[in-house]
Structure 1
Amino acid sequence: MRLVVVGNGMAGSRLVSEVRARDPQMRITVFGAEPCPPYNRVLLSNVLAGSSRPEQVRLLDTSWYAAHDVEAAFGSAVTWIDRDARTVVTEDGRREPYDLLVLATGSDAIVPPIPGVRRAVPFRTLGDCERIMAAAERARRAVVIGGGLLGIEAARGLAGRGLPVTLLHLAGHLMERQLDVEAGEVLGETLAGLGVETRTGVSASSVDADGVRLDDGELVEADLVVLACGVRPVTALAAGAGLEVRRGVVVDDELRTDDPSIFAVGECAEHDGTVYGLVAPAWEQAAVAAEVITGGKALYRGSRLVTRLKAQSVELAAMGETQLTEEHAEVVRFSHRARGTYRKLVIRDDRLVGAILLGESDAVGTLTQLFDRGAPVPGDRAGLLFPGLSAAPVADSPTLMPDAATVCRCNNVTKGQIRECWEAGAGDVAGVAAATRATTGCGTCRDAVAGIVGWLREQEGISV
């Protein structure tokens, strides 16, 4: 069986590792357009801020491919799929036959069609990140266009390097897809305290030599302009092969396209009308596709999205239907803007259907579990927002957390799995990460994993 994977990013590399874990014999070739081994795109903001080095965010290195008998072609873009001959063709003319093909082509950064936009740098790839860092060393002021997740991470990263930063956003408040108006305003106030000036409701008309020109003619001065205007699924390869493409490459519950020998996973895939732009769904899809490819049975039924902002000194989690009002749901809200704190629960039919947690909170684990499982919400609503004030046990305490509780959402790792690998000999967080992949996604579960490991260590000391 010959498996070819097109795309060696977070989805493609996970698919390859999942297949190899299930089948040590299958012949696997993976093509990646980028010239480097796969890396964790979620952690690029840490690289931009200087808190991580590029090599620290790698997912797999070249030695892994050699050790697992996987051929990896770095810097080799596939330009054509010959479905009749079951062959892919690269830009340098290489032809590689396949029995099964997986498209994991990801997304490209959206570049707005405005004059001078070539002076700006998109924030999407490791190469982009390195160009931004090089420019930041000689820049005096930066502008980031786009106030979504990536734009905020880019702005915070540049501010962390000591640059004054202005964040420009077309919508009326930041992260308008995930946050309500007040949460967006509180987030803007938090960023202001970290050195980021936020301008919402503004549109860039051009990128000039001295900065960004707005629609009203105002010039926002900068000698470094970063684009974070969203992403678009890369579907040209699939469309050119005659596969069904809407917003993404259309797939069924087995992640197959309308050609049963071709699968699609990650940001390029559209399942049940949805294109997911987060890492956890991509890795869930990779696991399902790998199971099917290796002869097993598995179905992908969609993902429940939890957005985590990865920016130093900014704690944010948003999930589900955050925009619903009291007309359509029960809404429990707390705001303390002076402390940068905003918490909101959206409850319908006694189930948590949405939540926003901005600012440090020990409620994230419990609320994420309730949201994931669709379990009934306890009657003590205030206790959900402030677990420390409730007389009830805190559900995400390592002592009381059930083994079935999910600790790492990116990799779907439970407390029970962490306990099992500890008992098998993993003696620290690094050992747990190597055995389960916990903490290797967005990284926000690291403290929870460390807490469980510390608790297990204490238990072991007591038993001795």
Structure 2
Amino acid sequence: MSQPGVIIVGAGQGGLQAAISLRQEGYTGPVTLIGAEPGLPYQRPPLSKAYLAAGDAEALVLRPESFFAAKDITYLHSTTVEAIDRDARRVVLPGGRLDYDRLILATGTRNLRPPIAGLDRALDLRTLADAGRLREVLASTRRVAVIGGGFIGLEFAAAARKLGHQVAVIEAAERLMARVVSPLMSRYFAMLHHDWGTEVHLGQPAVAVDETGVTLADGAHVPADTVLLAAGVCPNTELAEAAELAVENGIRLDAQLRTSDPAIFALGDCASFPDPRSGRQVRLESVQAATDHARLIAAQIAKGATASYAAVPWFWSDQGDRKLQIAGLAGADAHEEILADGIVARVDAIGVAALETVNKAGAHMRARRLLAGHAPVSLDELKAAVLKTAA
């Protein structure tokens, strides 16, 4: 029997980064990366933006096939893990079992399916196959309705408008991107999409989809030939739950990103962990968080490192010619402070929680460096740092 090594379940950017980082940290044992989708690991963020326009799937590939042989990483694509046997330290596959010394769960998320009649008529935008179907549909002029006013829905809306389609965005909440940005930034992007010619419907959830479009809760009808569902995601925790690991808005982790079983780690969108600033348990849907998680876990496995996760969260969304960037993580108790055109601070009882910028890359980077310090950051300190690069 071969030596048990590290098995990584999930071949997105976080799972792949864990395999890469294990080798970079000097780990010499077996590494097996298991992905449910066919083909090589690829980038997801461009699916709602550049890929819709260019359709270049090769540009999305993160590493060529030769990489896995060169780094002695076994990559199993089109493979689903059916169960985890924690006592035996094995994962169960359709064709057999694999033993592990350490297991990393990078199972990601799936699209939420709200209780909307006729929702099976709507398209998704989660995988490369989903994006390919959307490109085919958008090859001819369409009226498009997007259910969901978060990052993915708005990125797709901007891309579809640029391609010449009529677009309507339907958001059940009272404002766009309500979970992640300030009210001021929500208003800014609502006006922006309106100026681009997109209809924006706020505060009225979709209740039905049919061949003519989408019906809202107030009875209004939004005509559409194509409907995209982008109403959020939920973490894929079923495998962890079946193995009786602790789950709380994702697979629950400690500060070292370990699950309730010390031999099992988790990372990325499927995992909740203690926010180093506030202490509250959070789950981040972010490529940055997934790759940072992967590097920390690899250092623990390869070198016995004991550091807690302390990276500053950051996010971005490209909508048309606007790049929204967020440094830090603000809770519901944070209030907004306008620092300059396109620069908004979110402040809570501790100090500055986050900075939101539009097309201000310098200010964003300065804020990330400042927030990476251990001491709370005051609004005056933030102003002094970021306004130097606001122009």
Asked if these proteins are the same fold (TM beyond 0.5), I'd say: yes
- 2:278 aligns with none
* Contact map agreement 1:285 1:300 (CA 8 A) in 2: no
Please list, as runs of the form range in 1=range in 2, the aligned pairs for 1:198-237 lying within 5 A after superposition. Answer: 198-237=200-239
- 1:435 aligns with none
1:4 pairs, out of 7, 13, 20, with 7
Q: Which amino acid aligns with 2:86?
A: R
Helix, strand or coil at the partner of 1:98: strand
Please list, as runs of the form range in 1=range in 2, the aligned pairs for 1:21-40 lying within 5 A after superposition. Answer: 21-23=24-26, 25-40=28-43
- 1:288 aligns with 296
Query: Counterparts of 1:3 and 1:379 in 2: how far apart (Å)?
Result: 44
- 1:67 aligns with 70
- 2:314 aligns with 306
Give the drift of 1:120. Answer: 0.6
**CA offsets, 1:354-399, max 9 Å, x none?**
322235564222233223335566579488446467xxxxxxxxxx
**CA offsets, 1:295-339, max 9 Å, x none?**
32132334432221123311212343386677xx8x3444xxxxx
Query: Counterparts of 1:266 and 1:75 in 2: how far apart (Å)?
Result: 20
Please list, as runs of the form range in 1=range in 2, the aligned pairs for 1:253-292 lying within 5 A after superposition. Answer: 253-272=255-274, 273-292=281-300
Please list, as runs of the form range in 1=range in 2, the aligned pairs for 1:43-62 lying within 5 A after superposition. Answer: 43-51=46-54, 53-62=56-65
Please tell me whether residue 167 in structure 1 is matched to residue 169 in structure 2: yes
Query: Counterparts of 1:388 and 1:122 in 2: how far apart (Å)?
Result: 37
Q: 1:135 to 1:379 in 2, by over 3 A?
A: closer
* Contact map agreement 1:5 1:103 (CA 8 A) in 2: yes
Query: Counterparts of 2:167 and 2:390 in 1: how far apart (Å)?
Result: 37
* Contact map agreement 2:235 2:249 (CA 8 A) in 1: yes
Give the drift of 1:7. Answer: 0.6
TM-score, structure 2 normalization: 0.89
Query: Counterparts of 1:35 and 1:383 in 2: how far apart (Å)?
Result: 46
Q: Which amino acid aligns with 2:288?
A: A
Q: 1:301 to 1:69 in 2, by over 3 A?
A: closer
Helix, strand or coil at the partner of 2:95: coil
Percent of pairs identical after alignment?
A: 31
Give the drift of 1:33. Answer: 0.5
* Contact map agreement 1:332 1:381 (CA 8 A) in 2: no
Q: 1:24 to 1:353 in 2, by over 3 A?
A: closer
Query: Counterparts of 1:237 and 1:36 in 2: how far apart (Å)?
Result: 22
TM-align CA RMSD: 2.5
- 1:96 aligns with 98
Residue ranges of structure 1 left out of the alignment (5+ in a row): 335-340, 390-464
Give the drift of 1:230. Answer: 0.8
Query: Counterparts of 2:382 and 2:121 in 1: how far apart (Å)?
Result: 54
Query: Counterparts of 1:40 and 1:9 in 2: how far apart (Å)?
Result: 8
- 1:125 aligns with 127
- 1:396 aligns with none
Query: Counterparts of 2:60 and 2:304 in 1: how far apart (Å)?
Result: 31
Please tell me whether residue 369 in structure 1 is matched to residue 369 in structure 2: yes
Q: Which amino acid aligns with 2:9?
A: V
* Contact map agreement 1:33 1:74 (CA 8 A) in 2: yes
Q: Which amino acid aligns with 1:321?
A: A
**CA offsets, 1:56-88, max 9 Å, x none?**
122122221122111111110111112222221
* Contact map agreement 1:49 1:160 (CA 8 A) in 2: no
Helix, strand or coil at the partner of 1:369: helix
- 2:277 aligns with none
Structure 1, 147-156 or 368-377: larger mean CA deviation: 368-377
Q: 1:298 to 1:288 in 2, by over 3 A?
A: farther
**CA offsets, 1:144-193, max 9 Å, x none?**
11111111111112222221111111111111122232321211121223
Q: 1:66 to 1:88 in 2, by over 3 A?
A: same
* Contact map agreement 2:174 2:203 (CA 8 A) in 1: yes
Query: Counterparts of 1:388 and 1:240 in 2: how far apart (Å)?
Result: 50
Give the drift of 1:349. Answer: 8.1
Helix, strand or coil at the partner of 1:307: strand
Query: Counterparts of 1:138 and 1:109 in 2: how far apart (Å)?
Result: 26
Query: Counterparts of 2:305 and 2:70 in 1: how far apart (Å)?
Result: 28
Greater relative CO, 1 or 2 (CA 8 Å, sep 6+): 2
* Contact map agreement 2:355 2:364 (CA 8 A) in 1: no
**CA offsets, 1:115-136, max 9 Å, x none?**
1111111221111111111111
TM-score, structure 1 normalization: 0.75
